[in-house]
Structure 1
Amino acid sequence: MSKGLDTGSEWERASAAEQGFDPRLERKLLAGIEAGLIRDVHAVLVSRRGKLVLEHYRTAVDESWGMPLGAVAFDATTLHDLRSVTKSVVGLLYGIALDRGLVPPPQAPLLAQFPDYPDLAADPARADLTIGHALTMTLGLDWDEYRSYADPLNSEIAMENAPDRYRFVLERAVLQAPGTHWVYSGGATALVGAIIERGSGQRIEDFAREALFAPLGISRFEWLSGADGVASPASGLRLSAPDLLRIGRLVLEGGRIDGRQVVSKGWLDVSLARAVSTDDGLDYGHFWFLGAAPVPAFGAERPWMAGFGNGGQRLWLMPEADLACVIFSGNYNAPDAWVSPTRLWREIVLANLVSA
C-alpha cells in the first residue's frame, strides 16, 4: 500500500534501495547522461509508494513556447513548459467538471456545445461527432501535427493564428468516420478546453487553480495564451517538476487526497482505459498514452500510462508498481525527442526496479 499523497509539504524521501530499486539508480542515470545516451535532460524525479527516490536537476538552455530563456539552473521551484502533457491535465479537469455536473458526458454531441456554428451543425458528415471523439482524438477531421511546431502549416500553430480557433478546428475536412481513426490533435484539446470553460463559467486556468491545483497544494503555475488571449489547453501549462509529480501521484491514488475525492475514480478508470490504437504502436485513452514495458521486479511487462510533450516532457505512471516519473527536457521540435525520455524510463527507471 502506498503512503498516500501528502500535499502542501515537502516530499517524504527514501533511498532507492528502500523502495525496491538498485541502489545505484542515480549513478546509472548520471552515467547515461555522461555517455550521451540520455540527452537534453533538465529534471528527473521518481517516486514510489508516495516517496521520492530520485531527484536530479541540471543547468541547461531552455525556452518557453519558442521564447529563449537562456541558461536556466533548474531546481524544485523552476517552472517548465509541459507542452502536450498539458492535455493529460485537461483530461483530469474535464473529469472534475463532469463529476460536478458542469459539462455534458463524452457521449454528448460535440457541435451542440458550439451553437455559434449552425452551418457546421447542419452538415450530416459532422452530425455524429461527440465530446468523446475529441477526448480520444478520433474526430476523423483533417489535422497535421506531424510537421515541426516551428512550421506555420502545423495545424496547431495554424489554429493559434486563426481568427476563430474553434471554427478552424470544427470546419476541417471530414476524412474518416468519427471514432475509427486516431490522429494526434491539439485542436481536439482546444475544443474540450472550451467546453470546460463554458460549463464552469471560468477561464480554464482559474478552474484548474480552484479544482485541481489548490487541493494538491500547487500555488505557482503559468498557463500560456495565444494571440487571442485564450490559454492553450493543448500545450500552454508550465509547472515545477515536483508539482507535476503531485498530479501523477493523485492519479495513482485513485483521484483522492486527504480524504477528499478531487477527481472520481470512475473517470480515471474511463480515461486510462484503451479507447483506440495510435499510429506508433501505443494505445490511447482520454488524453493519455498507454503502453507496457518489462519490469524485473515483476518478471514481465506491466502497463503504464503517460502524458507526452514536445521536447521530451513526460509524466510516466505505472499503477501496479505504484510508480511515477517526471522528466523535463529541452529537445524541442526534434524528431528524435522521444528517444532519451523513453530510454530513461525503460532502461534506467524500470530496468532498475528489482523488488516488487
Structure 2
Amino acid sequence: MRNHQINLFLFILFSFFSNAQDMSKYTSGWEGKMATPEVFKLKVEIENLGSKNSRFRISNSSTIIDIPLHLGKDSIIITGFEDNYSFEGELSEDGKEVNGFIKSGILLYHINLKASKNKTYSGVWNPLMIGTLKSLNFYLSVENGKGNEYEAYPFFGDNRFTGTWCFDFQKDKDTISFADYKTGLKFIGKLLPQKIELGIYLGKSLITSIDLKKSLDDWKIGEFVTSIIDENLGILQLTELENGISKNSFPNTHSVLVSENGKIIYEKYFDGYTANVPHDMRSASKSISSAIAGIAKDQVLFTSVGQSIFDFLPKKYQKQKDRLNAKIDIKSLLTMSSGLDADDYTRERTPVASENNYQPSDDWLATVLSAPMINRPNTIAEYGSANPFLLGVALDSIVSEPLELFMDKYLFQKLEISNYIIQTDEKGKPYFGGGMYLTPRDMIKFGALYLNKGRYNNEQVISENWINSSVKKYLPLENVPDKNPYGYLWWHNTYQANKKMVSSIEARGAGGQYIFVVPDLKVVVAITSGNWRNGKTQQPEIIFEEYILPYLDD
C-alpha cells in the first residue's frame, strides 16, 4: 500500500511537471527585481598590455569574461570573447589610452580605456546604454504559448532603455532561451511550477539572474520621473516651454539644448534622461555619415563625388551593373538622388524611410543594387536610407582599418566624443543609414563643427570646402510634402521668428531627433524625443520656432 502511494505521488508529480512544460501555462506577464542598479554597469579591463600575460576582462560584482588577449598589427587589439561578440581597439600614440569597440548584437559600443598602473587599461561598458538603472523592476511578457512554441519579450522598469528585439525562441524540456538581436544579450529561463528563474548572459557568461513570478498588477515602467533635470545653469530661460512639457503639450520630449557662440546657454532633460545617456538618433546620424565621407575625401581616399558606386564594389557585385545604375555616384548618394527604388515610405507629413525592402535579406547590397531604377541619378531626390547605406559600403572599401576605428580616430576623438554607439549592417559594418546613439551635448558639438566651417578646438577636422558643399541646396525632396531642399545628407528649412525669416540646416531623425544649425544667429540647438509611434516626429520644429527662436532673435 505504501509503495502504491509513493508511486502514485511520483506519477502525479511527473504529470504536473510534464504538463507544466506546455507554454500555454506560462503565457502571461512575469516580473521580478534585479539585484542592484549597476548590474549592467560593466567594468572592462586590459591587463599587462603587450606582454604574454595580457588579459581581457569584463566584470560587475563578479567576473563575467576573463580570457587571454591577442594583439593585431599596428597596435590594433582584437579579440573574440564569446561567439558573436568581439572587442577591437587601438592604442593611442602616447600609450595612455585604448579606444575601441565592443561588438554585441548589431551594436558597436565605443569604449575608452584609460591607463593605470602595470599597463592596465580600464573603462566602463553598459549594454543598456543608460548607466545606473533608475528602477530595479524587470518584466517578461510570454506570448502565444502552445506546447513548445512561444515568444518572450523582456522589459526594463527604466524606460530610457530603447527596448529589445528578441528572436530565436527555443525550448528544451524545462528550459527556454532567446536572444536580443539589438544588444546581443541572451536570456535563459528555467520553468518551475510557480516561477521562472531567468538568467541574462553575454554568450555563455552570466551577467545576472532574476526570479520571476506572475504579474498581478499593471507594470510600472518609467515611473521614476520626479522633476526636470537642469544640467547647465545657462542664461536662457524658457519657462513657457518647460510648462508645456510638464503639462504634456509636447509629449516624450527628452532633452532641449541651446548653444550660442560656442557656449551652452540652455540645457534641460526630461523623463529621467541626463547628460550622460546616449540617445537613439535614428536618421539624424545620416548627417554624421556625410561628415565621414568628407573626411575620406579630404584624405584623398577617393578623388571625386562623381565616381560611380561600382568603383568601390567587389567583383561579385559588378554583374549587377547596367548603363543606368552605373551613373549612381557618391554625390547622388549624398543628395538622395540615386534613382533607386530601394526604400518603402510611410507617407506622412515627413516620410520615414523604411529599410524593409532590403534589411530582411541575407545580402543587403545585392538587394539594393537589384532594385529598379525609377529616375536618372542626380535628377530627382527622394528621401531614403538605401542611399547612405551604399555610401557606407563605398567608404568601408577604401579605408585601411576597420571603418568604425577610422570614424573614431578622425571625427569622434577630434570632437572629444567617447560615449556613443554605432549600429551595424548585416555584415557587422557601420550602417550609414542611421541608428547611432550620441548624447545631446555631443550632438551640439557635431552641429557646432558645421557652424564653425569644420573647425573644433582650433583644428580643421573637416575641410571648409566640404562643409560648404555639404550645406548647399541641391534638389528638393520630392517625397516630402514640404519638398525641403537637401544638401549632403543635411535638411534645409526656414522658420519665422519676430517677423523675420530664419534659415536652418538640420540633421533629422524619426521620433523627433534634431540638430538645428543656424549660421545667421551662430546657434546650434539639439532636441531629442521618443515619439516613435504617435505621429509627432516633427514636434521639435514647433518647439524650435515658437519657443526657442523668439528668445534668440530679439
The answer to whether TM tops 0.5 is yes
TM-superposition CA deviations, 1:278-333 (whole Å, max 9, x none): 1332110010001211233xx52121110110111111110110011111100114
Pair 1:222 & 2:424 matched: no
Partner Cα distance (1:333, 1:273) in 2? 32
SS in 2 for 1:308: strand
Partner Cα distance (2:532, 2:466) in 1? 32
Q: Which runs of 5+ in 2 are unaligned?
A: 1-230, 348-352
Corresponding position of 1:332: 532
Corresponding position of 1:288: 490
Partner Cα distance (2:534, 2:388) in 1? 22
Equivalent in 157, 167, 173 of residue 372 of structure 2 = 173
The letter of the residue matching 1:202 is E
The letter of the residue matching 2:437 is R
Shift of 1:227: 4.1
Partner Cα distance (1:250, 1:107) in 2? 25
Corresponding position of 1:307: 507
The runs of 4+ residues in structure 1 deviating greater than 4 Å are 11-14
Contact 2:475 2:485 in 1 (8 A): yes
Residues 195-206 of structure 1 correspond to what in structure 2 (within 5 A)? 195-206=394-405
Equivalent in 476, 497, 520 of residue 320 of structure 1 = 520
Distance 1:198 1:177, change over 3 A: same
The letter of the residue matching 1:332 is W
Pair 1:105 & 2:316 matched: no
The letter of the residue matching 1:38 is F
SS in 1 for 2:291: helix
TM-superposition CA deviations, 1:237-275 (whole Å, max 9, x none): 111110111111111111112221100111010010001
Contact 1:13 1:51 in 2 (8 A): no
Pair 1:83 & 2:282 matched: yes
SS in 1 for 2:377: coil
Corresponding position of 1:272: 471
Shift of 1:352: 2.2
The letter of the residue matching 2:235 is S
Equivalent in 228, 235, 239 of residue 27 of structure 1 = 239
Contact 2:313 2:397 in 1 (8 A): no
The letter of the residue matching 1:280 is P
Equivalent in 33, 45, 48 of residue 260 of structure 2 = 48
Shift of 1:194: 1.5
Partner Cα distance (1:201, 1:98) in 2? 14
Partner Cα distance (2:368, 2:401) in 1? 22
Shift of 1:125: 2.2
TM-superposition CA deviations, 1:55-96 (whole Å, max 9, x none): 11112xxxxxxxxxxxxx211110111100110001011001
TM-score, normalised relative to structure 2: 0.55
The letter of the residue matching 1:345 is F
Contact 2:344 2:357 in 1 (8 A): no
SS in 2 for 1:53: strand
Partner Cα distance (1:259, 1:14) in 2? 24
Partner Cα distance (2:360, 2:540) in 1? 30
Pair 1:350 & 2:549 matched: yes
Shift of 1:12: 8.7
TM-score, normalised relative to structure 1: 0.84
Equivalent in 251, 259, 265 of residue 39 of structure 1 = 251
Contact 2:328 2:338 in 1 (8 A): yes
The letter of the residue matching 2:256 is V
Partner Cα distance (1:110, 1:333) in 2? 35
Equivalent in 57, 61, 71 of residue 269 of structure 2 = 57
The letter of the residue matching 1:271 is S
Corresponding position of 2:208: none
Shift of 1:155: 4.6
Who wins on radius of gyration, i.e. which is larger?
Answer: 2
SS in 1 for 2:344: coil
Which structure has the highest strand share of the two? 2
Partner Cα distance (1:182, 1:294) in 2? 26
Partner Cα distance (1:95, 1:206) in 2? 16
Partner Cα distance (1:168, 1:140) in 2? 15
SS in 2 for 1:44: strand
Partner Cα distance (2:481, 2:303) in 1? 31
Which structure has the highest helix share of the two? 1
Identity level (%) = 27
SS in 2 for 1:351: helix
The letter of the residue matching 2:367 is F
Corresponding position of 1:15: 235
Partner Cα distance (1:78, 1:119) in 2? 45
Shift of 1:42: 0.7
Which is further off, 345-354 or 28-37? 28-37
Pair 1:207 & 2:406 matched: yes
The letter of the residue matching 2:241 is L
SS in 1 for 2:413: helix
Partner Cα distance (2:448, 2:463) in 1? 14
Corresponding position of 2:540: 341
Shift of 1:236: 2.3
Partner Cα distance (2:515, 2:411) in 1? 17
